[in-house]
Amino acid sequence: MAMTLPRRLAASFGAASVAALLGFVPGPAAQAAGHDAARATGDTMEWPSYGRDYANTRYAPLKQISARTVRSLAPVWIFQTGKTGSFEDSPVIVDGVMYATSGVTDTVFALDAKSGQRLWTHNTILGFASFCCGPQNRGVAVDGGKVFYGTLDGKLVALDAKTGMQDWAVQVGDPKEGLSETMAPLAWNGMVFIGGSGGEYGIRGSLTAYSQSDGRQLWRWWVVNPGWEGKYVTQVHGYSLHRDIAQEKADAAKYADSWKHGGGPIWTTPALDAKTATIYVSTGNPAEQMIDRTRPGDNLYTDCIVALDAHTGRMKWYYQETPHDVWDYDAASPPVLFDAADASGRTVTAVGEAGKTGWFYVLRRSNGHVLRVSEPFVPITNIYARPTSAGGVTITPGGVGGSNWSPVSYNPALHLVYIAGLNVPLVDAPNPSAPWVYGGRRWAGGHQHPAPGERGSGTFTAIDPSTGRIVWQDKMRFPMIDGSLATPELTFVGEATGMFDAMDARTGKILWQFQTGAGINAPPVAYEIDGREYIAVASGGGQGGDAIVVFALPESAQPSRD
């Protein structure tokens, strides 16, 4: 394969990396409910929403790119944003146009999805911003001729999809209270939904629905509210939370207003069941982060999977993964919808979420009752152990994983969920508690740092959601932070090394690899134009990088989709 790289790409990667980028590296051994958002008719299969469909399955029914043909997969175009840094964007493809974002500056790009030619660029002018974990923008929503995206300074913006000109913008929350927008919004039925990051800064978390036409607020559901103390839960699925319930209850009246800055961010894009008009949201950590004296009780509805009426925002049910969290165990990964077996073997509608705790939670979609909690997909030691002042306590997983914000993918044909995992033992130690201060300052009463001699590693795991059992697992050298794509015969995932992998969906065997030149922190997507299938992934991690790399089979090697 002959290909000319952009000069700046060649200069930044160096000769060795360019050689790797120009050729693939062989591997070691050489429809589900909820797809109503994904258009796949005739010669067009698009990726019209963050998770491709409203169910967030990240499943693409490819026929050309298969276990037999994947060895011929090669890059066909590369686009560089010019904004080097961590790159967590999941592109959206609608009507032959790819819409992508740069997390460093919240710049939005429209590209010809067949050739990579830039159609327009919208440059965002940012005001004051306070945000955790680096500047990120995980993507856009596209609907009704508009492109919707969030900004680091707490805005939701609507652009004209054809021109990139701003149609309207609204302020979702105050960045000096710690709110930022890093998630991809969700658009449906004339509405656009967005949460907000900032649990580490003491925001009051929320999910808000706006009118697509003019940005008018339709409803807002607050994550934390008066009465957030809950039932004072002492254990979850057999694991003690080691709480001093008597002390918490004694302190409840003194800290009755702690919910006002109680956290509960919404990091990632919700799932939506259009048939029942129910939106499923995962919520993040309570504040003050990693210390609990000033927030007695369960701290509802933080660290939860929550079902809301999509028309009104009324809560239907909740399930709290970690009540009274002092370990930073956000429910950060996007929920995913599928069917699964209940305890009697009967198939029911279900919702799942890959927790930072290292378990995949499977709930009945209608009422939130737990169907099962999976086998752990990363090692678990000392989970829910209380932080100590005498040197801290080592917990696995720490507050950056099992699964962080990374989206899972779901293969309906094989009934498997694929999870990128982080095995990161951390020492959890408290800091003195301090009052919340306006101005966008981090509000954490604890800190976590790598355990001595531990650098962390990763896992990539296939789990059967009807049994909770691990079907296969690949051990990875470094923690996995990107998310995956499922196809009938393959699953695609990127590594921190820059390697982009295609694995056999049934066994996890690596069938194909490609070195992109920078760490991959973003989930891949797939689409089809004029009868040709494409795979795209953003490459830009710890080593920098700013490239969207798009792959296809050589035209001469493409099998018919018939």
Given the residues 325, 328, 330, 428, select the one marked as catalytic.
Answer: 328
Q: If you count DSSP H runs as helices and E runs as strands, how many of each does the chain have, helices first?
A: 2, 40
Percent of residues in the chain assigned helix, strand, coil, to nearest 5: 5, 40, 55
Residues 6+ positions from 338 with CB-CB distance below 8 Å: 32, 33, 34, 55, 57, 350, 352, 410, 412, 415, 417, 465
Question: In Å, how far are 91, 95, 99, 170, 374 from 166, measured between CA atoms?
Answer: 19, 20, 15, 11, 45
- Contact of 114 with 527, CB cutoff 8 Å: no
Helix (H) / strand (E) element for 248: namely helix 245-251
Tokens 């580490």 belong to residue:
200
444 neighbors 289 (Cβ within 8 angstroms): yes
CA distance 528 to 10: 28
- Any alpha helices (H) in 338-435, and if so which ranges? none
Report the distance separating Cα 150 and Cα 197, nearest Å.
11
| CA-angle at 67, arms to 1 and 533, nearest 5° | 60
Q: Which residue in the block uniquely carries the two structure tokens 């914000």?
A: 405
- Whether 328 is a known active-site residue: answer yes
Q: Considering only CA atoms, which of 434, 416, 166 is closest in space to residue 294?
A: 434
Q: How far does CA 534 lie from the centroid of its chain? A: 22
Give the span between the Cα atoms of 437 and 77, in whole angstroms: 48
Helix (H/G/I), strand (E/B), else coil: 138: coil
What end-to-end distance do the CA atoms of the chain give, in Å?
27
DSSP 560: P
In angstroms, the CA 352 to CA 341 distance is: 13
DSSP structural state of residue 175: G
Q: Which residues, other chains included, contact 558 with Cβ-Cβ below 8 Å and sequence gap of 6+? A: 64, 531, 532, 533, 552
Taking the CA atoms of 399, 92, 514 and 135 in sequence, report the sign of the dihedral they define. negative
Measured CA angle at 457 (ends 451, 458), to 5 deg: 140
Q: Residues 111, 543: contact at Cβ < 8 Å?
A: no
Q: Which sequence positions are flagged as catalytic?
A: 328
